[in-house]
A and B are shown apart, each in its own frame.
Chain A
């Protein structure tokens, strides 16, 4: 019973910090800026297949973009900075939409949950896959108001394609 009490006390200590921080923070006063309210990605383009457009399929409340991963000739995975030989590049440069259209700061950042599988290329606004697998990308507005959207990509391996 004492062990449970010690765990409970530690849990209350840690949880109280999180709860107070999430629910008790003083709201930042509003200013005259127009903030981003939503971000939309209706489709993406696959550069390796001459810019073929991929439409999403719903995955719960999110969107899933599926494409087949093209491996190297030797069947190995690609490495970072090996962009020239890697055909597994998904670009959002043409399709990414930020609302409202008159938002003061339309800059967004890309956060990839599996940096071991893919990375974001800043200049081309593309996601470059090094290995097949599932990655989730959070696209977040940089105006400080936290509007964001999450998209999931599934680069299917040879086995997934057969299955």
Chain B
């Protein structure tokens, strides 16, 4: 028996066995009444039997003329295509690896020990997030917030999923716009022995991997927590993983398409600065109108327990309107988690295959559109030398001699205005923060609260202020590294390092001070605390901000990431930023809990004590920041 004959026989037997197994599943599906399972297994049986027949024809020698024709006419072309495809994939892999190395922290791959610890940490992180979601869904189910039968409707997780997808599309659009059309590495990548299509595709794949990473650490734990609470079968979990491999492509491809109009808007707004400021002003006015409208709909007496009868139906009406108005995203969620039929959760239902095909079709259509529209634009943008983009219309001015610190401040002021970072900071801290506190305090004011309730309002206000303030410090953790290749300039200037480095923190601190003062004044108008105590709350919050901003700056000095920003600029994932964000959350929670526990009616002077402790912490951090600049800054590369 020839080798081919042997293989054909093995293939025939395998296909037949698999077809029989699929047939058995089909019969089981028909008996228990699962139309989805029946359709799926019927398709599988059809494919497997067709393959088995092909193998049988091969064994009987009926396919010999076809095989000969195939070997003569098709096989050489196929070999060529396969070889080209393999080479392309190799190049693609290299390009993706290269870009991922810049975008993600891959230092753990260098040593086994580091990799092991990183893996353990990732698993712990994953389990913790899953547990948080599990308990969240468990309590929602226990309290029967969304269903009288203590069930969680699919629409609830669908809303969360939709919000996350929307956030992903927004952030991915901005990220892809910068990566595809404005990234510094494009010109370098185009010099590589790879086609422009492959480079463009590698950019999309890099973003897809990045999106997948975010999905694994947030969306998958959320769906696992949901699945455990709802008591899904074991098959739900591998299905979930499979689905998210597909689902993660959707925001990336949609963002790639959206990045084109965004790029034009971005370029246009950058050219016409006035329009940009008008837009910011419009956003501010819109925010105030929104706040005014929201304040108008706050009921006079908010009591969820007393009015739960009516509120419950309002929630139900909202969920119903969501499923009707956002049917595509609801169906998309049903593809992942299935449907509730009677008391059972059915993952595979009659619409599974249909929804799967629709998602695949959307993906393919978006990918084709990307190649037809985005790719030519990407090639044009990447191939245009940046040296000729700028029109030189700079007026020459007489140089004025100023002190090094004043010069550094002036430089920061100009670059802050040009990059709009000050406007963003003012928007968050001087506009959004006071507005949020005003809205929250107005809502609290319409509740008849106990002493504990009033204490909670102070704690939550402090927490919200701290989260907003400290969130803005995440970028400070890379403020020096962002200088990239030009970071050495600070080290060669004839001025003390501390002054030059502090200049980068000066304006954020001033803006944060104005924002905190304004918010404290608003808080003072609502709280049960005495004016002096409310002022001390503001002082404590600002002192924590000082502590945190100097911690963030210090982490960038001690562990600079210059290389990371030399190519990718602000798209790089920076470990200092992650640590700063984590510290922001921890500090906010700790201070809020301290405020809640210590601010009882009987404890006098507690806010003075908290203010003293936080000021001491801030001073301590400023001292360590200055001493570390003195001791380490020059040597750190």
Contacts and interface: CB of A to CB of B under 8 A. Distances in A.
B474 A152 contact: no
Interface string A145-163: 0100010101000011001
A137 to B, nearest CB: 7
B457 A154 contact: no
A28 B427 CA distance: 42
A98 B291 CA distance: 46
A134 B467 contact: no
Interface in B452-499: 452-457, 460, 463-464, 467-468, 471, 474
A2 B304 contact: no
A123 interface: no
A111 B450 contact: no
B581 interface: yes
A30 interface: no
Contacts of B148: 111, 113, 136-138, 150
Interface string A83-109: 000000000000000000000000001
B104 to A, nearest CB: 13
Given A1-B578, A9-B467, A134-B342, A20 B444 contact: yes
B193 interface: no
B150 A24 contact: no
Contact of B463 (A12, A140, A144, A150): A12
Contacts of B440: 13, 16-17
Given A21-B303, A26-B453, A144-B306, A2 B474 contact: yes
A10 to B, nearest CB: 9
Contacts of A109: 309
Nearest to B588: A12
A113 B468 CA distance: 39
Nearest to B149: A136
Chain B binding surface SS class: helix
Contacts of B164: 7
B149 A134 contact: yes
B185 interface: no
B585 interface: yes
A61 B131 CA distance: 24
Given A3-B167, A24-B454, A13 B449 contact: no
A133 interface: yes
A60 interface: yes
Contacts of B218: 4
Contact of B471 (A5, A21, A138, A152): A5
A4 B302 CA distance: 29
Given A5-B581, A109-B309, A140-B309, A26 B342 contact: no
B342 A160 contact: yes
B183 interface: no
Contacts of A75: none
Contacts of A133: 342
Contacts of B443: 17
A61 to B, nearest CB: 8
A25 B453 CA distance: 6
Given A13-B464, A159-B33, A25 B584 contact: no
A146 B450 CA distance: 20
Interface string A123-137: 000000000011011
A22 B147 CA distance: 18
B464 A23 contact: no
Given A8-B467, A154-B342, A159-B33, A24 B149 contact: no
A24 B578 contact: no
Contacts of A23: 452-453, 456
A148 to B, nearest CB: 9
B163 to A, nearest CB: 8
A24 B149 CA distance: 27
Interface string B10-38: 00000000000000000000001100000
A24 B449 contact: yes
B454 to A, nearest CB: 7
B471 A24 contact: no
Contacts of A154: 342-343
A20 B305 CA distance: 12
Contacts of A62: 149-150
Nearest to B467: A9
B171 interface: yes
A136 B343 CA distance: 12
Given A134-B342, A134-B343, A138-B148, A1 B474 contact: yes
A20 to B, nearest CB: 5
Given A20-B447, A134-B343, A160-B342, A5 B453 contact: no
B448 interface: yes
B342 A5 contact: no
Nearest to B147: A113
B304 A21 contact: yes
B139 to A, nearest CB: 11
Contacts of A60: 150
A150 B142 CA distance: 13
Interface of B: 32-33, 144, 147-150, 163-164, 167-168, 171, 218, 302-306, 308-309, 312-313, 316, 342-343, 436, 440, 443-444, 447-450, 452-457, 460, 463-464, 467-468, 471, 474, 577-578, 581, 584-585
Sorted nearest first, the 9 A-B pairs with minimum C-beta distance are: A24-B453, A136-B149, A16-B460, A136-B148, A113-B148, A26-B448, A5-B471, A1-B581, A21-B304
Given A2-B171, A113-B147, 12 more contacts: A1-B578, A1-B581, A2-B581, A7-B167, A16-B456, A20-B453, A23-B456, A60-B150, A133-B342, A136-B148, A146-B305, A150-B150
27 contacts: A1-B581, A2-B171, A3-B167, A5-B467, A5-B585, A7-B164, A13-B436, A13-B464, A17-B302, A17-B443, A18-B304, A20-B449, A22-B304, A23-B453, A23-B456, A24-B449, A24-B454, A24-B455, A24-B456, A62-B150, A113-B147, A113-B148, A113-B149, A136-B148, A150-B148, A160-B342, A163-B32
